[in-house]
């Protein structure tokens, strides 16, 4: 009775009764009207007027999505002396290219580049914006998505669209144990970055025509507060992503010295040396040689996996190679499931034998690749 009186007194005084249920207010989130958004925009990345391969690969994938959505494929090229790249983007699949060509934009810096992207996105209103998951792409995409704001799925390995024009951006999650498909339902544009080597570029088609639309730089030189003073080139940098032949080694090598054997084979074939994370973590070789989920994704014509077991985190980075040759003393090693040629045995006997055979055949008037394949076939047979 006392409690009832206290509750009545509280209510009369404008305070909620102690046992009164909290009021639930219905919050209605209006879905903004995105009906005026259309088209797919690929941000082309370049350095010294040379495009990153991933940009053309994204135009290839973007073309497929644009066809499915019955929409336009656009590219945005930013830089200095990049007019030819705009034309190239058309040859590589773009219908329309926005071109911001200015001396101040020679070097990438977040603010001027993101301002231009934001201006183009506000004007063009694309449904989807894609860029490479490179150092620059990751920085730029993050800055744009935060500013808009919209969702961003980083490091995608698959892209698709559903019947509602939603981008299905898939990326490995939980140490590659699952593929997570991420959608951005409430915001536009839908944004994603994708790794180099995952998608295929279209063949260059010089008969393609398209429109090039100039875009003004959104900041003057004196408004740009950061300056690039100089680039320090990494002396021992290995370019795995562009390599046509990779000779990769793993924990089976047992130490850093046997990488010299792999280097010999790579030199004989005109390739470069790669590695598994186990070899990198052991300090036998530098991180820029690492292939896999936390290293580079590669798509060479020929990939040697030597003393590498074939863990899923490694395989995800090299499974799209044209020809895979695995050398492992364990016949049940998972790497043999993705290999086109499997050689069961001791790498210390097999690798020098292949190198010797390649060198001998290279003295004949044969090209490197047939020589390599013949040598492998002879050794595995
Ligand atoms: C989040 C996460 C991210 C990762 N990212 C990566 C990545 O980017 N790249 C990557 O590679 N790994 C990555 N890993 C690690 C991965 O799970 C494996 O541990 C690693 O790939 C194993 O390297 P390995 O095959 O060289 O070594 P092991 O698995 O130890 O295999 C060594 C192989 O060498 C063979 N061998 C031994 N001696 C000889 C010999 N004399 N001759 C022939 N064969 C021999 C053995 O039979 C064995 O199959 C990641 C793991 C996690 C959890």
State the helix-helix crossing angle for 368-380 and 347-363, rounded to 10 degrees.
140
Residue 158: pLDDT band (50, 70, 90) is: very high
Q: Is the confidence at residue 4, as pLDDT, over 70?
A: no
- Assign 9 a pLDDT band (cuts: 50, 70, 90): very low
* 281 shares a domain with 216: no
Q: What is the pLDDT of residue 23?
A: 66
Mean pLDDT calculated for residue range 298-310: 96
The predicted-structure confidence for 257-272, as pLDDT tens digits, reads as follows 999 999 999 999 999 9
Domain shared by 218 and 279, yes or no: no
Specify the pLDDT at position 137.
Answer: 97
- Confidence band for 105, pLDDT divided at 50, 70 and 90: very high
Q: Whose CA is nearest to atom 27 of ligand 1?
A: 251
Let me know whether 207 and 292 are in one domain. no
Residue 28 falls inside a structural domain = no
Give the pLDDT score at 240: 92
CATH code for position 110: 3.40.50.620
The answer to whether residues 216 and 283 belong to one domain is no
What was the pLDDT predicted at 77? Answer: 98
Residue 20 falls inside a structural domain: no
249 pLDDT more than 80: yes
Task: Assess if residue 235 is contained within a domain.
Answer: no
- Residue 144, judged by CB atoms within 10 A of its CB (0-12, 13-18, 19+), counts as buried
pLDDT confidence bin for 177, thresholds 50/70/90? confident
Distance of CA 353 to the CA centre of its chain: 36
Regarding predicted confidence, which is higher, 277 or 20? 277
Tokens in use for 235? Answer: 């002396």
* pLDDT of the residue at 138: 96
Q: Is residue 128 part of a domain?
A: yes
Q: Are residues 194 and 334 in the same domain?
A: no
* End-of-domain residue from the set 223, 255, 277: 223
Tokens 């009207």 belong to residue: 33
**pLDDT over 60 at 333, yes or no:** yes
pLDDT of residue 183: 96
Res 290 pLDDT > 60? yes
Lowest-confidence segment of 194-203, 246-255, 346-355 by average pLDDT: 194-203
- Is residue 276 within 8 Å of residue 310, measured between CB atoms? no
| 153/269 same-domain check | no
Mean pLDDT along residues 236-244: 85
Task: Single out the residue of 276, 274, 271 nearest to residue 294, CA to CA.
Answer: 276
Closest atom of ligand 1 to CA, residue 278: 23
Q: Average pLDDT, stretch 148-157?
A: 95
Query: Which string of DSSP letters, residue by residue, matches 58-104?
Result: HHHHHHHHHHHHT--EEEEEEESS-HHHHHHHHHTT-SEEEEEE-GG
Q: Which atom of ligand 1 is nearest to the CA of 276?
A: 11
Share of the chain above pLDDT 70, in %: 86
To test the ligand 1 pocket, which listed residue (291, 328, 335) has its Cβ within 8 A of the most ligand atoms?
328
Question: Pairing between strand 211-214 and 245-249?
Answer: unpaired
**C-alpha 308 – ligand 1 centre gap (Å):** 5
**What pLDDT does residue 3 have?**
44
Whose alpha carbon is nearest atom 23 of ligand 1?
A: 278
Mean pLDDT over 75-87 rounds to 97
* Judgement on whether residues 58 and 179 belong to the same structural domain of the protein: yes
pLDDT of residue 32: 76
Q: Does the residue 268 lie in any domain? A: yes
Which residue stretches of the chain are H helix?
Answer: 2-12, 53-69, 83-91, 110-124, 135-147, 259-269, 277-281, 312-315, 335-338, 347-363, 368-380
pLDDT digit string (tens) for 30-78?
667 889 999 999 999 999 999 999 999 999 999 999 999 999 999 999 9
Residues 219, 249, single domain; the answer is no
Ligand 1 first shell, C-beta below 6 A: 175, 250-252, 276-279, 290-295, 307-309, 311, 313-314, 317, 327-330, 333, 346-348
Whole-number percent of the chain with pLDDT over 90: 76
Last residue of a domain, one of 171, 189, 223: 223
135-147 and 110-124 helices cross at what angle (nearest 10)?
Answer: 60
pLDDT at 381: 46
- Whether residues 208 and 160 share a domain: the answer is yes
Across the range 313-330, mean pLDDT stands at: 96
Query: What is the rounded CA–CA span in Å between residue 345 and residue 122?
Result: 60
From ligand 1's centre to the CA of 279, what distance in Å? 8
What residues make up the domain containing 269?
245-380
Domain boundary among 223, 256, 276: 223
User: Residue 82 pLDDT more than 70?
Assistant: yes
Total tally of structural domains belonging to the chain: 2
CATH number at residue 256: 3.40.50.1220
Q: Determine, yes or no, domain membership for 23.
A: no
Which among 27-36, 118-127, 238-247 has the top mean pLDDT? 118-127
Question: Average pLDDT for residues 71-100, to the nearest whole number?
Answer: 98
Contact 172, 316 (CB under 8 A): yes
Residue 266 lies in a domain: yes
**104 burial via Cβ count (<10 Å: 0-12, 13-18, 19+):** middle
Q: Is the pLDDT score of 79 beyond 90?
A: yes
149 and 253 share one domain: no
pLDDT of residue 45: 98
Confidence class of residue 379 from pLDDT cuts 50, 70 and 90? low
The yes-or-no verdict on residue 275 having pLDDT over 60 is yes
Q: Are residues 200 and 101 in the same domain?
A: yes
Contacts of 232 (CB under 8 A, 6+ apart): none
Residue 350, in any domain of the structure: yes
How does strand 73-79 pair with strand 40-44? parallel
**Do 219 and 250 reside in the same domain of the chain?**
no
């Amino acid at each position: 009775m006392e409690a009832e009186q206290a509750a009545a007194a509280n209510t009369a005084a404008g305070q909620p009764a102690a046992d009164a249920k909290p009021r639930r207010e219905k919050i209605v989130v209006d879905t903004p009207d995105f009906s005026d958004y259309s088209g797919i925009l690929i941000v082309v990345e370049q350095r010294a007027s040379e495009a990153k391969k991933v940009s053309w690969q994204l135009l290839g994938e973007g073309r497929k999505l644009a066809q499915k959505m019955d929409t336009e494929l656009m590219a945005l090229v930013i830089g200095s002396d990049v007019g030819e790249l705009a034309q190239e983007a058309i040859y590589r699949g773009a219908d329309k290219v926005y071109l911001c060509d200015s001396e101040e934009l020679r070097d990438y810096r977040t603010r001027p580049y993101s301002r231009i992207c934001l201006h183009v996105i506000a004007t063009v209103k694309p449904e989807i914006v894609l860029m490479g998951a490179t150092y620059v792409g990751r920085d730029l995409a993050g800055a744009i998505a935060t500013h808009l704001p919209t969702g961003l799925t980083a490091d995608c390995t698959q892209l698709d669209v559903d019947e509602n024009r939603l981008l299905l951006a898939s990326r490995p999650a939980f140490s590659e144990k699952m593929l997570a498909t991420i959608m951005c339902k409430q915001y536009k544009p839908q944004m994603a970055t994708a790794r180099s080597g995952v998608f295929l570029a279209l063949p260059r088609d010089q008969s393609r025509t398209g429109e090039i639309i100039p875009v003004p730089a959104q900041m003057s030189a004196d408004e740009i507060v950061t300056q690039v003073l100089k680039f320090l080139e990494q002396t021992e940098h290995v370019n795995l992503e562009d390599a046509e032949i990779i000779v990769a080694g793993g924990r089976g090598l047992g130490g850093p010295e046997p990488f010299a054997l792999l280097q010999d084979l790579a030199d004989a074939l005109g390739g470069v040396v790669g590695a598994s994370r186990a070899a990198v973590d052991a300090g036998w070789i530098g991180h820029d040689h690492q292939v896999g989920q936390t290293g580079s994704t590669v798509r060479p014509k020929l990939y040697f996996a030597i003393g590498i077991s074939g863990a899923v985190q490694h395989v995800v980075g090299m499974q799209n190679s044209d020809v895979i040759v695995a050398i492992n003393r364990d016949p049940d090693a998972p790497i043999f499931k993705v290999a086109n040629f499997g050689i069961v045995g001791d790498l210390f006997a097999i690798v020098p034998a292949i190198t010797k055979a390649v060198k001998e055949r290279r003295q004949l008037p044969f090209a490197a690749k047939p020589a390599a394949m013949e040598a492998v076939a002879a050794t595995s047979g």
